[in-house]
Amino acid sequence: MDAFATYSDLGTRLRRTFTPDEQPWITTLLKDASTYLRDDVIGAQVFPQSSSTVRFWPDGGRVDLPNPPLISIDTVARDGVTLVDGEGYTRRDNLLWFGSDKPVDVTFTYGYALAPASLIRWTCVLVSQTLLPIEQKLGLTAGGFVVGAD
């Protein structure tokens, strides 16, 4: 999964240039921090942008599309027939309303095309907190993410 920040983002904040040998290591730490933020803090895939097709079973005619931010609803189909907003269903933000509880297949796009600045900053904060202890071989002390042995 893509990291929210790059080693250049971190280097700018730390006033440090990472060597070509350090860059893959820093990228791994940034990916670990991003995974921690995505999975344990936010609880959603907010970056990078992605599309999914999911079969939903409406509950009382309602489907809540997961994983904000919702960018677009690309197709909605029931029994192989494409439905149109306002005719086969009604959309309100990330909710879809149907006239029945029969299953529907929804293809939707979610996530930001660019990582939000706040997530870039938080990723850099988490990694910067771990750099000194790791470089001194003292282990991890922040962030809850795991660094694999290389």
pTM: 0.77
- At 141 the pLDDT is 60
Angle made by CA atoms 110, 111, 112, in degrees to the nearest 5: 135
Segment 116-135, tens digit of pLDDT: 999 999 999 999 988 877 77
Please identify which residue in the block is written with the tokens 């269903």: 89
> Tens digit of pLDDT for each residue in 55-74?
999 999 999 999 889 999 99
Number of Cα atoms under 13 Å in the Cβ half of residue 120: 15
pLDDT at 149: 40
The torsion angle over the Cα atoms of residues 88, 92, 96 and 99, rounded to 10 degrees, is -50
Question: What pLDDT is stored for residue 134 in this prediction?
Answer: 76
pLDDT in tens, the chain (150 residues): 799 999 999 999 999 999 999 999 999 999 999 999 999 999 988 999 999 999 999 999 999 999 889 999 999 999 999 999 999 999 999 999 999 999 999 999 999 999 999 999 999 999 998 887 777 777 766 555 555 444
- The two tokens of residue 59 are 């509950």
Instruction: Tell me 27's DSSP state.
Output: H
